[in-house]
Structure 1
Amino acid sequence: MPMRLPTSFALSPWIVRRLLPRRVRVRLTLLYGVLFVASGVVLLAITNLLVARTPANLVLVKNRGGEPVLAPGADGRLYLGYPESNSSVQLNDITQQLRDQALRQHEIEMDHLLVQSGIALAIMAVIAIVLGWVVAGRVLRPLRTMTGTIQRISARNMHERLAVVGPADELKDLADTVDGLLGRLETALDSHKRFVANAAHELRTPLTLEHALLEESLIDRDATRESFRSNFERLLDISKQQARLLESLLTLSSSERGLDHREPLDLAEITEEVVEASRPETRRRGLRIETAIGPAAASGDSALVQRLVANLVDNAMGYNTPGGHVEITTRTHAGRAVVAVANTGPEVPPEQVERLFEPFQRLGRTAGDGHHGLGLSIVRAIAVAHDAVIGAHARPGGGLVVEVSFPPRTDPLQRATRIEQLDDGTAIR
């Protein structure tokens, strides 16, 4: 039966993490030291192995002429001979003693070499740890500099950058990546500040008007029921505009977070529903809607996509001319579902088209017309959340053309004509 260690001797991952040093410099120093000691041990082992394999059982003597002579006899024993006198003396006992002495001397030298090598390795290990500490500090110095700079950067000095100079190594790539991230954060922060300022301005205008109307009703001692009713109707209209603005802001915020789920949908069905719901408004404005609805299968959030199409149609109707028209098209092109809305209207400068997709941007910046400049920005946010490509260009005679292309549907629920053969030969489509 295998023996199990008590729980107190078992090192949990938490204990292991607590035992490990937290500073990178200490970990690098220990890593350098361990690698050096391991390399030194391997080197000493190889050196001792090579020295131990050197011959230590050969004994050389010199003859009278000074030349070394070592000759084995016919019986396998070792003899020392003198060629000049053609005589030989059996030196087996002497050579054996000499050989044993050489072996003992070799063992003593090996032990001495091992001890001296161990002492040298210990000294060099201490030196290696000190050098590792210094080298690790120099390697981590750029990281400490970057860390200190990043810690000093806040919303007030977001324009600062690391601006690391030097060879194009990993640290330079890291610094450039951080600088790029800071640039994107600065752009997002500036956009957020402009958005908050514009939203505050849009909300302050109706609040000021509401305050003025209420103050007028209270101050005017000769106010009649008709004047009160007129002021209340205007207050109701202002309240509806504020509600639409808040709803648009909430839609913009939710669409910028991304999609929580995707479902199969058809742009043709959604567009038809939006067109039918907007016909009373088009008749009231004296506009004409022309549609070319074709199958356009996509996937995404149907509520957000419906809001996208509705905003495109509302924008096309709101910025139009009396007697103008709106063209709405859905189709499938290169496997992508496409919805396009074009309208007649005032001439749009081509350089201003991209600006219209920013929050609170309108042609002429006229407030109080029921438009808050959020329609196309919501369209772009919903398109980005669906990985869709949005394109827009000004029409030569006035008006705007906006086209949104959704990626192909890849879910197994994609619509297709399905034929099942029954036993009697009939088919169901």
Structure 2
Amino acid sequence: MTELTGPAQQHLAAIDPEPFAGTTQPRRSLQARLTLFYATGIYLAGLGILAIVTIPLTGLQKTTAVDSNTPGVLSGTGQGIDPHQLMIGSTIALVLLIPIAWAAGWYVAGRFLRPLRAVTATAKAISAGNLHQRLALGEPTDELTELGSILDDLFARLEASFTAQRHFVANASHELRTPLAGLRTLLEVALADPDADAATLRSVCQEALALGEHQERLVQALLTLATSERGVARWETFDLADLVAEVLVSHREQATQAGLHLGEHLAPAAMSGDARLIQSLITNLVDNAVRYNHSGGLVDITTRAAGNEVTLSVTNSGPVIPDDQLHRLFQPFQRLAPDRSGRRESYGLGLAIVKAVADAHHAALTTTARAEGGLSITVRFTPAT
């Protein structure tokens, strides 16, 4: 089972610090304190009722007529009930009320704390690595079960995050190992050749540089993805259409060489966000549309503003993509279609970066597979609240 470390451990330690740190102070039971609170309330309530009942009785007197069998009647004057007997009866009632109040308070406190015990036990289990476990408090619906539901959602997100992190690390390790292994093999073969001349060594150096550039671009893509997932560091106002126009300058020649028709419909669209991250989003969307396309195809980019909403749409032709595979496009290192250039220059990180930037800006990301092939991706930005 995977052990939790770092921020995750600190977060779970905040839920139940006992598994992670000792304490020098004696542990006071919350149920005992609640029991004392409830028992005191019940006892005071019983004392008040007893006082309300007994105090008026002290002013009553029972009288009986002389030489008469008629039952006695009560009058409001006289000496009243014997105070000694009343004191004895009241004392007995108060003594009996103590264990009753304590038992009732203990039962009520236990019933209210039952969901908290479930939360504590599950938090301890999860801290040991059982991220699949859930509270599932069920009915009745109240503040505690609502808290349990929120924690279940939190645990589900933690499990998904750790699972995605493990997959990402494994895939990144594989992707980084491939160019390193190729570079090592290339150099070993060159060194093992006793007849290698200057031209051969120059060719080897050129291939080594190409592999190094490939690895450098991969590391840069990984850094961009990590920066995007970190969130928006600063908010600034800019025109989305201007950013798109800047990105298209570097892609227009590439699209022309590939025989693609590049359509632009750039209406002014002022928005707030991190301009550097948004430029990365646009670059990866356009690059994906150009890379996974076919000769004679199209790439259409649109920006528009409607009220407080700013929309960026990128539509491209290309291979047919099944609807049930669309979710894979935004996962790191996923490639559903071959690169049209035939070269392995894609790392499967472009749309993952797009999703990370969109999430950081709280934007809605919609992807549609076109029946004739290709994709239509729309990002809707709304003002941050």
Structure 1 and Structure 2 fold alike (TM over 0.5): yes
Going from structure 1 to structure 2, the CA distance change for 1:282 and 1:51 (only over 3 Å counts) comes to same
Going from structure 1 to structure 2, the CA distance change for 1:250 and 1:50 (only over 3 Å counts) comes to farther
Letter paired with 2:344? D
2:284 aligned with 1:322: no
Deviation at 1:361, TM superposition (A): 0.8
Q: Provide structure 2 residue ranges, at least 5 long, that are not aligned to the other structure.
A: 1-23
Q: Is the 8 A contact 1:36 1:125 kept in 2?
A: no
Match of 2:35 in 1: 29
CA–CA separation in structure 2 for the residues paired with 1:155 and 1:403: 41
Match of 1:422 in 2: none
**1:221-262, Cα deviation, whole Å (9 max, x unpaired):** 222222222222222222222222222222222222322332
Moved more, 257-266 or 175-184: 175-184
Which of 241, 250, 270 aligns to 2:243? It is: 270
Match of 1:416 in 2: none
Which of 195, 207, 212 aligns to 1:222? It is: 195
CA–CA separation in structure 1 for the residues paired with 2:282 and 2:219: 19
Match of 1:129 in 2: 102
Match of 2:5 in 1: none
Which of 258, 271, 274 aligns to 2:231? It is: 258
Secondary structure of the 2:28 match is: coil
The count of residues paired between Structure 1 and Structure 2 equals 356
Q: Provide structure 1 residue ranges, at least 5 long, that are not aligned to the other structure.
A: 1-17, 71-98, 411-429
Secondary structure of the 1:317 match is: helix
CA–CA separation in structure 2 for the residues paired with 1:239 and 1:61: 120
Going from structure 1 to structure 2, the CA distance change for 1:204 and 1:66 (only over 3 Å counts) comes to closer
What are the residue-to-residue correspondences of 1:40-51 with 2, within 5 Å? 40-51=46-57
CA–CA separation in structure 2 for the residues paired with 1:144 and 1:386: 38
Q: Is the 8 A contact 2:300 2:316 kept in 1?
A: yes
Letter paired with 2:50? L
Deviation at 1:30, TM superposition (A): 0.8
**1:64-86, Cα deviation, whole Å (9 max, x unpaired):** 6777999xxxxxxxxxxxxxxxx
Share of identical aligned residues, percent?
41
Q: Is the 8 A contact 2:362 2:384 kept in 1?
A: no
2:312 aligned with 1:339: yes
CA–CA separation in structure 1 for the residues paired with 2:154 and 2:110: 26
CA–CA separation in structure 1 for the residues paired with 2:285 and 2:126: 40
Deviation at 1:300, TM superposition (A): 1.0
Q: Is the 8 A contact 2:319 2:337 kept in 1?
A: no
**1:351-382, Cα deviation, whole Å (9 max, x unpaired):** 32332111111124779611001101111111
Going from structure 1 to structure 2, the CA distance change for 1:326 and 1:246 (only over 3 Å counts) comes to same
Structure of higher CA gyration radius: 1
Deviation at 1:133, TM superposition (A): 3.3
**1:38-84, Cα deviation, whole Å (9 max, x unpaired):** 112211221233324x444x96643x6777999xxxxxxxxxxxxxx
Secondary structure of the 2:132 match is: coil
CA–CA separation in structure 2 for the residues paired with 1:390 and 1:134: 51
Match of 1:93 in 2: none
Which of 90, 93, 96 aligns to 1:120? It is: 93
Which of 121, 127, 151 aligns to 2:124? It is: 151
Going from structure 1 to structure 2, the CA distance change for 1:228 and 1:282 (only over 3 Å counts) comes to farther
Q: TM-score, normalised by structure 1?
A: 0.72
Match of 1:110 in 2: 83
Q: Is the 8 A contact 1:298 1:409 kept in 2?
A: no
Deviation at 1:145, TM superposition (A): 4.6
Which of 354, 359, 365 aligns to 1:384? It is: 359
**1:384-419, Cα deviation, whole Å (9 max, x unpaired):** 111211122233333222111111588xxxxxxxxx
Q: TM-score, normalised by structure 2?
A: 0.80
Secondary structure of the 2:353 match is: helix
CA–CA separation in structure 1 for the residues paired with 2:305 and 2:371: 26
